[in-house]
Structure 1
Amino acid sequence: MGKIFLFLEKTNEPNIQRIGTQHYAPEMLSEEELKMGVLVDEVPQAENIPDKRPELFYNTDTQELFYKYSDVVLPPTSPEQIMKDLQKELNAVKAENKTLMLALAESAEAQQQDKIENQLAVAEVVETLTTKGVL
């Protein structure tokens, strides 16, 4: 594989420069252009990190290439997409609410049944005590 020319851009760090452009036919560049970067044999492959964007840099002291990874800034969503997302979320909340209401109704019904059974048991105990002459 041939040489790759990397155009360098200054950064806030004195020995670190950002790679602006990669040129794969450096023999076509002028002497002036060749003064604006470095020739390398190969460029390292960036890691594929979800939600991160790789940016290639060059250390002028060590003459090494490396990547810095920054968070991907997503473009703003259209109002239509926001409405669709909110409607989808609303429908999910409605379905969950319905499930919770059914569970609550079943619980209230079970409590009512328990209350009736307790009242019948108490009435039975009172009747037994009354017939035995305890009360």
Structure 2
Amino acid sequence: MILIKLGIVTSGIAPVIVECNEPETIPREDLLNWIEIEEIPEPVLQAGKTPNLYYNLETGQLFYEYSDRQLSPEERIQQLEAELTVSKEDNVSNMLAITELYELILGGTA
């Protein structure tokens, strides 16, 4: 059993502000302010995004909304390496096209 505490409710949706995996640590008089759930879903990790957990009071469902954040140095390096790989592949394609065009201009066949 997991307990969650919610932030300000807007249109039946509230952010989860606290998660507690040890319900016995919560004073009995405070338990009314907590919601009992079975499990918390795992967020989908996305570069440049922060998962924010929300609770739908009407359906009792937990879900994530993702907000933008600055890339970590490691994520930025991965992004640049991926862009470099694409650039290299494009460069090779362009060089082949130029070679074929050059051969056509000289009267050869491509």
TM class by shorter chain equals: 0.5 to 0.7
Q: Greater CA radius of gyration, 1 or 2?
A: 1
* Structure 2 unaligned residues grouped into runs of 5+: none
Q: Name the SS of the counterpart of 1:110 in structure 2.
A: coil
When normalised by structure 2's length, the TM-score is 0.59
Q: Number of residues paired by the alignment?
A: 105
| 1:75 alignment counterpart | 71
RMSD: 3.9
Residue correspondence of structure 1 range 95-110 to structure 2 within 5 A: 95-110=92-107
Between structures 1 and 2, the one with greater helix share: 1
When normalised by structure 1's length, the TM-score is 0.51
Query: Is residue 53–residue 65 contact of structure 2 (8 Å, CA) maintained in 1?
Result: yes
Give the direction of change, closer, same or farther, for the CA distance of 1:26–1:85 in structure 2 (3 Å limit): closer
Identity %: 11
Residue correspondence of structure 1 range 1-135 to structure 2 within 5 A: 3-11=1-9, 13-31=10-28, 33-40=30-37, 42-43=38-39, 45=41, 48=44, 53=51, 55-59=53-57, 62=58, 64-70=60-66, 73=69, 75=71, 81=77, 88=85, 90-110=87-107
Deviation of 1:94 (Å): 3.5
* Structure 1 unaligned residues grouped into runs of 5+: 114-135
